[in-house]
Structures are given as C-alpha cells and as structure tokens.
Structure 1
Amino acid sequence: MHSVAILVLDGVVPFDMAAPLQVFDFTRLPDGRPAYRVRLCAERPEVAADGGFTLRVERGLQALADADTVVVPGRAEGAPPPSPAVLAALRQAAAAGARIASVCVGAFVLAEAGLLDGLRATTHWVAADRLARAFPLVDVEPDVLYVDNGQILTSAGAAAALDMCLHMIRRDLGSAVAANAARMSVMPLEREGGQAQFIVHEHPPVPRGSDLEPLLEWIEDNLAHEVTLGAMAARAGMSERTFSRRFREQTGTTPLQWLLRARVRRAQYLLENSDHTVERIGRQAGFGSPTAFRERFRKVAGTTPHAYRSSFNGRRPAPASGS
C-alpha cells in the first residue's frame, strides 16, 4: 500500500489539506482494497489552523521518512515561516526518494527547502509573482493547474490539487483506478496540468495624479478602434521614444502590452456578460481578425475564448457566424 503523509504546518488552510486527504482516501484498487494509507503529520501535536481553530495531529515529522508521497498544503498569509526542522525533514524525505507535492502556496515551503531550485513550479496565480521574486532560481509558471517534474510536483490551488492528485494516482495505478477516484470525488479526470488557471489580468497600477490617466481613459474608450503607438504618443504630446520611456516608468510595462491587456480584459468582460458571438467580441475588443483574437487572448489569458466563456458565462451563447 502506498503511503501518503500530509504535512500540517501552522496556518494551514483546511480545504488545501482536505483536498488531497479526500482524493487519496477515496482511491480503491480493483478488488476494493484501499490503495493509499494517508496520515497527517506535524512538528507538534497541536497545530493552529487558518480559521481560528486547533488541529490535533498524532504523528510527528518522522512520518515523512516513511512516506512514499509527501503533500504540503497551503497556509494562510502571515503564517510563521517553516522551522529548520521542517525544512530538514522535507529535504531528507526527498533525498530518500519520496515524491513531494505542494498545494497552492505550499510551494513556498518547498522553495524554502531548496526543492524547487532549477525546476518549473506553479502556485495560485495571485502569489506567483511573489514566489518568483522570493526564489529567483525557480521557474514559476503562473498560468497552469499543476507542474509535474517527476519527483517534485506543485499545484495552483485546492481545486487544482485534486487534478494533481488524480494525475499522481493515474501514474501510480493506471487510468481505471484514477477514473474511479475522480468519480468518488465528483471530479473530471480530463483536465490536464497545462490547462490554464482562469486569471483576471489587472492593469499595472498607475500612480494617482499621473499625467497618463487621461490617456489611459481615452484608450479604454477606443479599444474597438485601431490605437497605434504613434497615436498614443501624439495624444500625450510626446515623441514615441519619450512616451514609451515615460509609460514604462509609470506602469512597469510597454504601451502596446498595456493595450493588449486592456483588450483582453474587455473581451473577458463580454465573454462573461454577453451573448455576442466570439467573432463579434473580438471586433468589439479591437482585435483585427478572429485568428488574431484567439491567438492573443490565449497568450494573455492562457486559454481560448470559447473555453473561457464555457467556464464563466451561464448564458447560452449566440451561434457562431455561418452556423
């Protein structure tokens, strides 16, 4: 029987802990026997969880040494850093060949232990920039559900952790067992790790009182029309070179990248809140052709316009042109 140790640290998010606990506990072999033995372990017998309650955990860090798989759930913002003993236990488990996986911001604990150095990793998209800044040796992918490096896996959040766990079960025991575990968890088995997290791309902040504010409002009002770098610079009363430099200084990005994000955000809003065809929404957001819309939307949002609409729009979409 495969053993799974879920490492419970102070500030643990209960749902992040419950996701892998549930899916591994539901997994059965074809003859009905449990496929995994799941145990909670912690540095101390009592752990303060997010939400103001305390968890009692029977097993200590030594349980990591005997585990085939170690899962590190996410923790609440402001939780104390993992102790040297916790980090050492994770490194020892990895050195012994255990598979190590994280849920959501549990990736920070793996990174603190040095287990993600030189590897691809993901976390919840809200925390992805912070992970990349704090651990520059980690190749952070902010727009996928999970990343499998073989021994080390990371997932984007509690729901994505279910996808990651089903992926591990399929690796361990095959598709039939994984499919049954998915049914028990009322989960699809089809979502792959490269599927995008559904990210709302905020505009880079502009300092209050910036001389760019009127220009940015004008851009937002004219997204359906062609907006060139020259037109933006002329409206700002600057040369293109000066305007581009000033724009980057105040927003942290280029004018054309800001424009692309603005168009994608407009398209996201229309996909969520209108019955217009995808082709019409592409035109309304200022994309020159349906092909350009699909390619650029996917580049920024990490998924297709149709997939985004099917996930976020409860309305029945209008038929596509020519159908």
Structure 2
Amino acid sequence: MDPTRAGASPLLVTVLLFPGVRLLDVTGPIEVFTAADGFGGRYRIRTVSADGREVTTSAGTRIGADLAAAEATDTSDVLVVPGGPGWERLIKDDALLDLVRTLHARSRRTASVCTGAFLLAAAGLLDGRRATTHWRQARDLALRFPAVRVEPDALFVRDGAVMTSAGVSAGIDLSLALVEEHFGGETARSVAKDLVVFMQRPGGQSQFSVRARAPRTRQDALRRALDAVVQDPGGEHTLTAMARRAGLSPRHTARLFHDELGTTPARYVEQVRVEAAQALLESGDDPLPAVARRTGFGSPESLRRAFARHLSTTPGAYRARFRTTGTAGQAPEQRAS
C-alpha cells in the first residue's frame, strides 16, 4: 500500500475507549496523527467504545465515542489500544477483551500505549511476541503472561503487526514511527517539530538515561560529580578531576562509586559518553571523528571499542539502524507482517 499515491484514501486510525482509560494515552496518538494531516499525511481518526457512549477517563474527564465498536466493521489501518491505571481490573473484563480481539482482527496494525499491553496480552495477542510497557509494570507483565517476551526498558517494540509502547510519551514516539512508515521521514519530522517533541527516539532506545538508571545516592558530593559528567560528556572526567569537583579524595570517590552505584568512575563516564554519542549519531551528520571528539572519546577507534563493549555494534551500524524511528526502511510487505 502506498498512501501517498494520487487519490489514495486516508488511513483509518481507530482508538478504543473504555471507562478508566488514561486520557493522554488516547490524546497523544490522536494529536500526532491529526497533526500529520498538515504536513502531507492523510489520516481519518475515529474513537469507539463498547456501546458508542462517552467514557470517563482516569482523570475524570469525559471523552465522546464516534460509534459503537460493533458498528466499526470496516478495516482499520491502525488500532490504538490505550491503557489505564486500573489495568488489573481491565484484564478481567471478558467483554472488553473480546472487543480488543474483534477490533484487532479488523485491523492491519494494532498498537498499544503503556498498560494497554496488558489488554493485548490478556486477549492472547502477545503470545510468543516481544513487547514492552511502562517500566513500573514490566515485571508484572512478564510474570502474569509468561508467553510474552517482555523488553522492560524499550520505548516501543514492534513484532509483526503488533506494536507496544512504554509510557505516555512513548505512545507519541510509536505514533511518529507509524507516520514515518506511512508518509516518510520528512512528514514525521515536521509533526515532531510542530508538537515540540523529539523525533529521534527509536523504539530500540532505553526508557532511561544512564543518569536516570543510576541508583539514587544520598551523597551530595557524588551527585555533583555525576551531574557534571552528564552536563559535559566531552569534558575532563578523570578520577582526579571528579574527586576535585566533589571535594573528596580520589580513593573516597572511587569507594562511593562502588558502594552507592555498583560501578567504577571510569565505567560510569564511558556509559554516559556512549549515550551522548548515540544521540549525536541519531540526530546529526557529524563524521565519526567529530562525534568522538565531542563526546570525550578522542578518536573514532576509541569510540568503536566503547560501542562494541556496551552495544555490541559499531557507531556506523548504529547510525544506519537508528537514524530514523526504526520502521521507514522496511519494505511494504515487511511493514504489514
């Protein structure tokens, strides 16, 4: 299918509503697809509920449905299944799960946002598939549904015709990836700029930065040292320099890294620098020597060795894979699988 051809019909996006749905899980994707219409995209959005009536979200806001799910008999190009804080109750709602199965069968692509993955899993749609959800619920998803291969920190995951995403903002990332797949990178980038969100957040990225993943420390001196590395990855971050900023001895600084973070100063610095290099490779055209210099590695060879250690790939291969949101380079038959 080539939606950009002359006379092509708009792509149909169906968004499922149910009582207790999270408001932003619904409106985030809708905003992305709606904004795309101003930049070369062509989408038709509709919301459905079990009986066609409005629902009250978890925030107390009411949202109207365009029609009852039973009336949505035509094929959707994308089905969006949002989540809600009451997912433990929702996965026991047999009528809702039947509705998810029915709408999925009528859709070319099914995409969940946040804990919407639990609805897909409970409906049996994730069995044998890779999937993700909000990091707080990833362990629950894996324990309750052992047939699902959970990737706990991915922003979004695609496995065949099913896509799952992490929290609210990751639902926007997933939607941008679909816009890129449908109408190209330029349209997706224009939408991202219009909504003032980042385009370059491929699905394979982690939900967290190195600094965010680090255990919380009670040591103010250590926090200052950590933050200095993140703020300027290309700066001087030897153990001596970090100890000087923290106002501690090098030996004491190294001990704090071990006791508080379970790592060494050198490893922490390298992890931050790798992450900074990833961001540059995803979003710019700087040659590898410039990327290595700006992120503190000094030379492309040092950068390559670090990527091999942490990511099991090369900077060039990483750039080729993650320069887009991750779906635009696939052949049409792969996209529809």
TM-score (norm 2): 0.63
Equivalence for 1:41? 48
1:182 corresponding residue in structure 2:
192
How far 1:50 moved relative to its partner? 0.8
2:280 is equivalent to residue 304 of structure 1: no
Q: Counterpart in 1 of 2:182?
A: 172
- Deviation for aligned residue 1:143: 1.1
Name which of 58, 72, 75 aligns with 2:66: 58
Distance 1:321 1:110 in 2: 43
For 1:63 and 1:120, the matched residues in 2 are separated by 31
Q: 2:115 aligns with which of 95, 105, 112?
A: 105
SS in 2 for 1:27: helix
Cross-structure match for 2:306: none
Q: 1:17 corresponds to which letter in structure 2? A: V
Letter paired with 1:304: E
Q: What is the CA deviation profile of residues 188-243 of structure 1, one whole-angstrom value per residue up to 9, with x for unaligned ones?
A: 2221111111175587xxxxxxxxxxxxx9xx99xxxxxxxxxxxxxxxxxxxxxx
**Of residues 131, 155, 166 in structure 1, which corresponds to 2:165?**
155
Shift of residue 88, structure 1, vs aligned partner: 2.3
In structure 2, the residue matched to 1:257 is none
State the alpha-carbon separation in 1 of the partners of residues 59 and 38 from structure 2. Answer: 35
**SS state of the match for residue 187, structure 1?**
coil
Structure 1 unaligned segments of length 5 or more: list them: 204-216, 222-262, 309-318
SS at match of 1:171: helix
Relative to the length of structure 1, the TM-score reads 0.65
1:193 aligns with 2:203: yes
After superposition, the CA RMSD in angstroms is 3.9
Cross-structure match for 2:19: 10
The secondary structure found in structure 2 opposite 1:57 is: coil
- Whether the 8 Å CA contact 2:111–2:164 is kept in 1: the answer is yes
Q: What is the percentage of aligned positions where both structures have the same residue?
A: 33
SS at match of 1:160: helix
Query: 1-side partners of 2:36 and 2:158: how far apart?
Result: 20
Q: Do residues 120 (structure 1) and 130 (structure 2) align?
A: yes
Q: Is the 8 A contact 1:4 1:39 kept in 2?
A: yes
Q: Does the 8 A contact of 1:28 with 1:177 survive in 2?
A: no
Structure 2: gaps of 5 or more residues:
1-9, 244-249, 280-294, 299-337
Conserved in 2, the CA contact under 8 Å of 1:69 and 1:100?
yes
> Could you tell me how far 1:35 is from its partner in structure 2?
0.8
CA–CA distance in 1 between the matches of 2:232 and 2:181? 41
Aligned length: 252
**d(CA) in 1 for partners of 2:25, 2:226:** 28
**Where do 1:64-79 residues align within 5 Å?**
65-66=73-74, 67-77=76-86
Going from structure 1 to structure 2, the CA distance change for 1:270 and 1:133 (only over 3 Å counts) comes to farther
1:19 touches 1:158 (CA, 8 Å); kept in 2?
yes
Change in CA separation of 1:99 and 1:278 when aligned onto 2, cut-off 3 Å: farther
Compared CA separation, residues 103 and 185, structure 1 to 2 (3 A): same
Q: 3-state DSSP class of the match of 2:180?
A: helix
Compared CA separation, residues 27 and 288, structure 1 to 2 (3 A) = closer
How far 1:76 moved relative to its partner?
Answer: 1.8
Note closer, same or farther for the CA distance 1:2–1:48 as it changes in structure 2 (3 Å cut): same
How do 1:183-222 and structure 2 match up within 5 A?
Answer: 183-198=193-208, 200=212
Which structure has the greater CA radius of gyration? 1
Deviation at 1:56, TM superposition (A): 2.8
The aligned counterpart of 2:95 is: 85
Residue 78 and residue 4 in structure 1: after superposition, are their counterparts in 2 closer, same or farther (change >3 A)?
A: closer
Question: Could you say which residue in structure 1 is the equivalent of 2:326?
Answer: none
> Structure 1: how far apart are the matches of 2:62 and 2:265?
56
